[in-house]
Structure formats: structure tokens, C-alpha cells
């Protein structure tokens, strides 16, 4: 997505007035974050949470775990996770009607923040299962 090899930032350029060298640096940072992200650990941790199934993503630094065994209403779940557990996730419904019951989350973070976030997510999902 951020191909700078021919001097172009991308065919999907962000809406920005930043000069191309700034956008190229941003793309390099994104690529580094994606390659350094603890993807395997995050996906393994997600799959250990009862009611969660998470395939290994093909790229980027986002996971799209299936939480339909817990709830199909991920809009309400995302709001509850934000306010009660201080965890930010995107509800699957934001990505189309067939994505209800899924969450989108980023694992491009420090190991400590990621561990804490996944712990909080697990607590929030346990509360939802028990509700």
C-alpha cells in the first residue's frame, strides 16, 4: 500500500498536504511497525480467550477476531469495552453487515501495552459471556 520505490507514495494516498518525503517516512514507519508487531503472540492470546476465534492476518497489524460465540452485537460490546475496560476496538458492523460478531483491533503497540489491552479485553468478554 505504501510503495515508494518509484517516488510515488501510493495509489491510495492519504488526504494530506504533507510533502511526499513526509508521507514516505510515514509509510516506512507503518511497514516497520507491521513487521515488528508481535502478531503471533497477539493471535495466540486472542485464541486462548473463551469464545474467541482469530485467524492469523495476512498482513498489516490488525486482527479481526470472531466473537460470535460471545455476542453478535459488537457495536454494544465495543462501547462497553471502551467505557468499562478502557480498551479500544472497532465493531465488525463498521466493516459491513456480514462482519457483525467480529472485532477489529490493532496489535501495533509495545509488548506491555498489548498484554494489558488483551488482559482487559479478556475481562470484558468474560463479563459479556456472564451477562
Number of residues written out for the chain = 131
Q: Where is pLDDT greater, at 10 or 64?
A: 64
Q: What is the pTM of this model?
A: 0.69
Q: Where is pLDDT greater, at 34 or 77?
A: 77
105-119 confidence digits (pLDDT tens): 988 888 888 899 999
Tell me the β-bridge partners of 82. none
8-43 confidence digits (pLDDT tens): 444 444 444 555 655 555 556 556 555 554 556 889
The rounded Cα 100 to chain-centroid distance in angstroms is 15
| Cα 16 to Cα 12: distance, rounded to the nearest angstrom | 12
CATH code, 37-130: 3.90.1150.10
Report the largest interatomic distance among the alpha carbons of the chain, rounded to a whole angstrom.
54
The dihedral built from the CA positions of residue 91, 93, 98 and 100, taken in this order, carries a sign that is positive
- Tell me what percent of the residues of the chain surpass a pLDDT of 70: 69
| Cα 92 to Cα 49: distance, rounded to the nearest angstrom | 18
pLDDT at residue number 21:
54
Average pLDDT, the chain: 79
Residue 63 exposure: Cα atoms within 13 Å on the Cβ side? 28
Q: Where are the domains of the chain?
A: 1-36, 37-130
Amino acid at each position: 500500500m505504501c510503495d515508494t520505490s518509484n517516488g510515488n507514495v501510493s495509489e491510495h494516498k492519504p488526504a494530506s498536504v504533507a510533502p511526499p518525503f513526509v508521507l514516505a517516512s510515514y509509510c516506512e514507519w507503518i511497514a516497520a511497525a507491521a513487521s515488528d508487531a508481535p502478531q503471533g503472540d497477539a493471535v495466540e492470546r486472542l485464541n486462548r480467550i473463551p469464545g474467541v476465534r482469530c485467524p492469523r492476518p495476512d498482513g498489516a497489524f490488525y486482527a479481526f477476531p470472531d466473537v460470535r460465540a460471545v455476542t453478535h452485537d459488537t457495536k454494544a460490546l465495543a462501547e462497553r469495552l471502551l467505557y468499562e475496560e478502557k480498551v479500544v476496538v472497532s465493531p465488525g458492523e463498521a466493516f459491513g453487515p456480514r462482519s457483525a460478531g467480529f472485532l477489529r483491533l490493532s496489535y501495533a503497540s509495545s509488548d506491555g501495552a498489548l498484554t494489558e489491552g488483551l488482559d482487559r479485553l479478556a475481562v470484558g468478554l468474560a463479563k459479556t459471556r456472564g451477562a
